[in-house]
Amino acid sequence: MDYKKTNERFFKEFRYKTDIIMKKLIPYGCQWIDKEDIKGVVKVLKSNWITQGPKVREFEEAVAKYSKVKYAVAVSSGTSALETAYAVAGINPGDEVITSPLTFTATANAIVRWGGKPVFVDIQEDTLNIDPKEIEKKITRKTKAIVPVDFAGHPCDYNKIRRIAKEHKLLIIEDAAHALGSEYRDKKIGNFAHLTILSFHPVKNITTAEGGMILTNRKDFSEKLKIFRHHGIIKKPEKGGWYYEIENPTFNYRLTDIQSALGLSQLKKLDKFIKKRREIVARYNKAFKDIKEIIMPTEKNYVKSAWHIYVIQLRLDKLSVDRKRIFEAFQKKGIGVQVHYLPLHLQPFYQKKFGYKKGDFPIAEKYYQRAITLPLFPKMTNKDIERVIKTTREIINFYKK
Ligand SMILES: Cc1ncc(COP(=O)(O)O)c(C=O)c1O
């Protein structure tokens, strides 16, 4: 092990975290935990059930009710939700699954986990979501499912995707890790795919620290999901209260009651969180309207986005430096910007294993060269928002041609 490098990395991370604690650095995303959340968690900690108890079911029912779907199955993370959903959808070795290259690696990794091949399709320039026009060109006899990703919380164009899926008898598994609470044509996310997955990581729209959920309107899927998350155990009470059988061995993907209590309490604040996110976005949009050097994110009139992240794109032809220099300038000024994401077809694994190469998805690549995610989370103060706006103006002014 290279101890010098490890130490350097540790101190860099330590300084970053200290800066957040000292409020010098505004991160790109952050949870909002209040007294009610803590009270809910402590109550469970003092009870007899800290896992596999009643809070899990209560949380599932509350999310299902909020999203107006029939069934919800809680699991240990968004990644577990993807693995579980893909398994239940029957993704097997040799199957092809169509998805967007512009997503977190978990979306595609979980396809590989079951031996499938992620077949990437380029994105739309404005919504940054999978381009429905391109999907049909990639359908083969091996295609099993389409996995649209609601990037940044903006729902994909589900009328078009559903038409394609129906015609080719494909399943839709929606990666809505960014999109709990988002709406497509006045209906909440969860009602457009056969299976919809959510993540409750701290930067997401609500949090359980780690956690995830799968939404579905199909009873058979909900039953299979519950068996899959719990070792493949099928209870047979007619043979005795203790008795179960295993037909297909799986793993432990369970969420705890402690986390579910946090989720339940967070869910009560989701609409308030989304309202706050949308207010910050409106302020950014107003403040950046006249800056010719940046492109602001889009929200189509047929959606209402929960705005998980706010990504600007730099017009590099109007700037004297590249994205890396601008990114570093933000970081130096204490604005914890990020980049979401390096398109997956550019990752070494996906290139080596499936032969993807630079140039395959030009719109995703162009986006990647120019993208910067600015801080956006409900707990941002007026001062934080003003600081992000002022710093963005200063940096762009400094580097403009
Ligand atoms: C689009 C997308 N899918 C899946 C995941 C995985 O979720 P988790 O971190 O809860 O495992 C994430 C998390 O960042 C994500 O952004």
- Which ligand 1 atom is at minimum distance from the Cα of 199? 10
Nearest to 69 by CA among 156, 195, 160: 195
- The mean per-residue pLDDT over the stretch 60-67 comes to 98
Query: pLDDT value at position 281?
Result: 98
Q: How far is the CA of 127 from the centre of ligand 1 (A)?
A: 19
Distances (CA, A) of 125 to 151, 309, 335, 358: 12, 17, 26, 18
* Band of residue 22 on the pLDDT scale cut at 50, 70, 90: low
Give the integer Cα–Cα distance in Å for 81 and 68: 19
CB 56 within 8 A of CB 38: no
CB 272 within 8 A of CB 379: no
* Band of residue 18 on the pLDDT scale cut at 50, 70, 90: low
Nearest to 31 by CA among 335, 275, 269: 269
Q: How far is the CA of 80 from the centre of ligand 1 (A)?
A: 9
pLDDT at 16 over 90: no
pLDDT digits (tens, 9 = 90+) for 319-332: 999 999 999 999 99
Give the integer Cα–Cα distance in Å for 174 and 161: 11
pLDDT at 19 over 70: no
Give the integer Cα–Cα distance in Å for 46 and 56: 16
Query: pLDDT value at position 24?
Result: 82
Give the integer Cα–Cα distance in Å for 126 and 255: 36
- Which ligand 1 atom is at minimum distance from the Cα of 80? 11
Pocket residues for ligand 1 (CB within 6 Å)?
77-79, 103-104, 106-107, 149, 175, 177-178, 199, 201, 212
67: which DSSP letter? H
Q: Residue 378 in 3-state DSSP?
A: coil
Six token digits for residue 133: 């026009």
* Mean pLDDT across the chain: 96
Query: pLDDT value at position 14?
Result: 58
End-to-end CA gap in the chain: 45
Omega before 341 within 30 of 0, i.e. cis: yes
Q: Please provide residue 184's backbone torsions phi and psi, each rounded to the nearest 5 degrees.
A: -120, 120
Is pTM, for the whole model, over 0.75?
yes
- Which ligand 1 atom is at minimum distance from the Cα of 151? 1
- Which ligand 1 atom is at minimum distance from the Cα of 340? 16
Best mutation site among 77, 79, 100, 308 for ligand 1 pocket (most ligand atoms within 8 Å of CB): 79
